[in-house]
């Protein structure tokens, strides 16, 4: 009798935790950042912003919270979708940390980076903001640290939410 191979299933817990992180990030941008500074708020309408209408929620942590959340959430979502095990999770978390740090470095050297961005980005939703992201963003070592912590915390959550193989 032939046995069927194990089906690889996504890890819903990891994906949900990652999405919750993204929702926290959205709340942060709606409450703690001026609407003119947030791309998606400008696109959807500044009336969505609660900045100045509600008290600041995240305080001093808010400055680097997006860097943490990005590495944390996208590591979890990617690992969950790929149903990755430990080695895969290490690669995914490390990959997101490296990507985020490269974007942070790109803000420091925005003049060089903006020369590399193709002109056709200007006509595509989301990509149209790429030059402004690098030009107006500022390099912050605290963001680099928050990114590393976000990737590390994501890895810990991934380990805690891995499906255990049954015998």
Mean pLDDT of 89-97: 98
At 94, the pLDDT band (50, 70, 90 cuts) reads very high
Domain residue limits, the chain: 12-161
Task: Between 50 and 76, name the one with better pLDDT.
Answer: 76
For the cut 70, the answer to whether the pLDDT of residue 3 exceeds it is: no
Give strand ranges (E) for 20-161: none
pLDDT of residue 167: 45
Which range, of 16-20, 47-51, 160-164, averages the lowest pLDDT?
47-51
pLDDT tens-digit profile of 12-43? Answer: 999 999 999 999 998 888 888 887 777 777 77
The token duo for 16 is 């949900």
Task: Between 110 and 55, name the one with better pLDDT.
Answer: 110
For the cut 70, the answer to whether the pLDDT of residue 2 exceeds it is: no
SS3 per residue for the chain:
CCCCCCCCCCCHHHHHHHHHHHHHHHHHHHHHCCHHHCHHHHHHCHHHCCECCECCCCHHHHHCHHHHHHHHHHHHHHHHHHCCCHHHHHHHHHHHHHHHHHHHHHHHCHHHHHHHCCHHHHHCCCHHHHHHHHHHCCCCHHHHHHHHHHHHHHHHHHHHHCCCCCC
pLDDT tens-digit profile of 101-153? Answer: 999 999 999 999 989 999 998 889 888 888 988 988 889 999 999 999 999 99
For the cut 50, the answer to whether the pLDDT of residue 166 exceeds it is: no
For the cut 90, the answer to whether the pLDDT of residue 157 exceeds it is: yes
Which range, of 16-20, 58-62, 123-127, 159-163, averages the lowest pLDDT?
58-62
Q: Which residues contact 36 (CB under 8 A, 6 or more apart)?
A: 42, 46
Mean pLDDT of 71-88: 96
pLDDT of residue 14: 97
pLDDT of residue 62: 82
Contact 95, 122 (CB under 8 A): no
C-alpha–C-alpha distance, residues 21 and 70, integer Å = 8
């Amino acid at each position: 009798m032939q046995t069927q191979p194990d089906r690889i299933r996504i890890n819903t817990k990891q994906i949900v935790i990652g999405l919750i992180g993204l929702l926290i990030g959205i709340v942060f941008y709606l409450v703690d950042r001026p609407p003119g500074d947030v791309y998606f708020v400008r696109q959807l309408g500044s009336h969505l912003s609660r900045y100045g209408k509600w008290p600041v929620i995240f305080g001093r942590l808010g400055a680097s919270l997006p860097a943490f959340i990005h590495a944390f959430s996208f590591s979890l979502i990617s690992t969950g979708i790929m149903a990755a095990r430990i080695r895969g999770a290490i690669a995914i978390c490390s990959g997101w940390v490296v990507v985020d740090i490269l974007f942070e470095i790109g803000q420091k050297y925005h003049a060089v980076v903006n020369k590399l961005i193709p002109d056709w980005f200007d006509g595509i939703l989301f990509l149209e903001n790429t030059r402004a992201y690098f030009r107006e963003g500022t390099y912050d070592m605290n963001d680099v640290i928050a990114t590393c912590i976000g990737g590390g915390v994501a890895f810990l959550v991934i380990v805690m939410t891995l499906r255990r193989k049954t015998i």
